[in-house]
Amino acid sequence: MGSTPAWVNRIVGVLVAGCLLVVAQCVYAQGLPAGPEYRSVLGMDSRLAVWIAAQLHLMFAAFVLAVPMFALFIEYLGWRVAKTNPREAQRYDWLAHEMARLLPAAYSLTAITGALLGFLLFTAYPKFMAYMTGIFGPTFVVYPLFFVAETLCLYLWYYTWDRLQGERKWLHLWLGLLLNVFGTIVMFIADAWATFMMTPAGVDQQGALISLYDAVWNPGWMPLNIHRLVANITFGALLCSAYAAYRFLIATREQDRALYDWMGYTGNLIALFTMLFLPFAGYYFGFELFAFSATYGVTLMGGVLSWLFIIQAIVIAVLFIGAAYYSWLGLLRIPGSEAQQRWSPVFNVALISGFVVWATPHTMAASIEESTGGFHPILGALGVMAPKMIAVTLVLVVLYASYLLYRRAGRETTVAWHRQGTTIQWSLVGLTALAITALGVYGYFAPAEVRIKTSIWQIIVLMIGIVATFALDLVLLRGARTVAEVRWGTLPRRGHYVLIMLAFVIVWLMALMGYARSGVRLNWHVYGILQDTSPGAGLPSLGEVAVIITAITFIFFVMLAAAFAISGLAKAPDAASGGDGRAPALAPSGEGA
């Protein structure tokens, strides 16, 4: 653990920043004097500067919001088994702490980038910010207060980890819970501002406030809250996995390798699980946007941002394929898992085929010789929503099926009816896939309204299939014999490089979608109410966007790496024992996370 003065200084620093934000926002809440609509900040392109600052802030915020969620869950798992299985409890506690130790440095960067974003917005866009303050004044005051509360909880949670062990562990868990509650409130408040700009409500046609409640609970608010909650967890989990992969690659002791291998696996599992829900959360958000304004639908799916979604489809495919590859590779850790490994090529073909459909563009980029002049009769049919929904939902079935197989590796069922049970289980998986395909085919030929409903039914069928077969799996594996322990620390190095790649991919994807969400407003600060008349109001080309978000990705990683390195300096004396001297003496047991 760090020395007392260091953490006190850090808390005081963040608190001072928070208080300054409160004061600044209270001042702005009084209203701004008449002045220019836009100002240049140090001769910079204001839009670009705000873009970079906002995206970096969102990424750090996503990280510090997500990690406490699953770290707390893991800590809770450890606490639950503390009396019955102290070794297991110690292991979970180590993992939760190892994830949490990334937070203080990241939290400072969240505050710094947030302050920078606030400064840029208030300076470069005074009229817009005056308007937003006029609408959201009370929330601008409440927000920093919750931020300060979150800060206190975070540092208390992290720095009292060792003191609140044993009988007082429940107090520590409550601190973690409070941290998550405050963090979620902070995100929900900021989401209200962001979604009000997209789907304004609670104001009249001139933009004057009628109801703050409606302005906050605007049509896009809850969909974005849900989408961000889920995506943040995926994001945070993959960054933790990448950190674990890095620690694995530089580890010299077998014990450290085992622990970080397990940490990477757990992070990837969390990410994969939340990724199951991401397409649907995104779809729900898009659905609400289209319902609010048909122009959004056309701009995103057929207009100026439509090619961005082809890129998004490819990047999502890389993410899923990478995560699946890592999972399949994980079978190498389990001796005697050849029966399960035999299925990997089948899953591989299914996954690749699914993503081929998923990424097929409806409108082709064709040369004059290749052009058919209209929609391609084969590819045009694959490029619409119904086949893509079939493809992506079946991909999720495949990923789930491979997870079911992984659970069987190295274990032998002992229940008498295991043969019949397994047959029923896999028949149910097959039926789920069949029903999803049938619904998709029906939706393909149905009108748009019906098609949207069938896509929702596809998700429901998938969820029912997963819940039913997983429940059956739990019963089937009750009392199962472990015939081969998972050999943590033996995953090939390429698996860890994949985890690091996945972290880059998720950061890039988040930056891409951040641009899409903001860019879809086109030339509006607040859609339909306050127009953006600044010189930089136009959308950049897709190529320029790619360059900027790649730069943002690198800046993010450089900042993150620097923060981790600095926080690592304090741990130097303990480095030999796996980072901070907390590493449990025993490697994780074979049962996994």
Contact positions toward other proteins, by CB under 8 A? 290, 293-295, 297-299, 301-307, 314, 317-318, 321, 325, 328-329, 332, 341, 344-345, 348-349, 351-352, 355-356, 359-380, 383-384, 447-449, 492, 494, 522-524, 527-528, 531, 542
**Minimum CB distance to other proteins smaller for 50 or for 300:** 300
**Minimum CB distance to other proteins smaller for 15 or for 542:** 542
Q: Burial of 364 by CB count in 10 Å (0-12 exposed, 13-18 middle, 19+ buried)?
A: middle
The whole-angstrom separation of Cα 330 and Cα 32 is: 58
| 470, amino acid identity | F
**Minimum CB distance to other proteins smaller for 207 or for 421:** 207
Question: Least CB distance from residue 174 to other proteins, whole Å?
Answer: 44
Please give the DSSP secondary-structure letter assigned to residue 256.
Answer: H
Question: Least CB distance from residue 344 to other proteins, whole Å?
Answer: 5
The whole-angstrom separation of Cα 226 and Cα 219 is: 13
CA-atom Rg of the chain in angstroms: 25
3-class SS of residue 411? strand
**Minimum CB distance to other proteins smaller for 305 or for 560:** 305
Question: Least CB distance from residue 350 to other proteins, whole Å?
Answer: 10
**Minimum CB distance to other proteins smaller for 126 or for 443:** 443
Sign of CA dihedral 185, 190, 195, 200: positive
Question: Least CB distance from residue 89 to other proteins, whole Å?
Answer: 34
Question: Least CB distance from residue 268 to other proteins, whole Å?
Answer: 15
**Could you tell me if 45 and 536 are in contact, meaning their C-beta atoms sit under 8 angstroms apart?**
yes
Q: Where are the alpha helices (DSSP H) in 160-302?
A: 169-198, 212-216, 221-250, 254-275, 278-292, 294-301
Q: Burial of 367 by CB count in 10 Å (0-12 exposed, 13-18 middle, 19+ buried)?
A: exposed
**Minimum CB distance to other proteins smaller for 73 or for 343:** 343
**Could you tell me if 544 and 551 are in contact, meaning their C-beta atoms sit under 8 angstroms apart?**
no
**Minimum CB distance to other proteins smaller for 352 or for 562:** 352
**Minimum CB distance to other proteins smaller for 187 or for 499:** 499
- Please give the full DSSP string across 113-137, using - where no structure is assigned: HHHHHHHHHHHH-HHHHHHHHHHHH
Question: Least CB distance from residue 254 to other proteins, whole Å?
Answer: 19
| 103, amino acid identity | L
Question: Least CB distance from residue 380 to other proteins, whole Å?
Answer: 7
Residue 395 tokens read as: 């991909």
The whole-angstrom separation of Cα 386 and Cα 330 is: 33
Question: Least CB distance from residue 262 to other proteins, whole Å?
Answer: 21
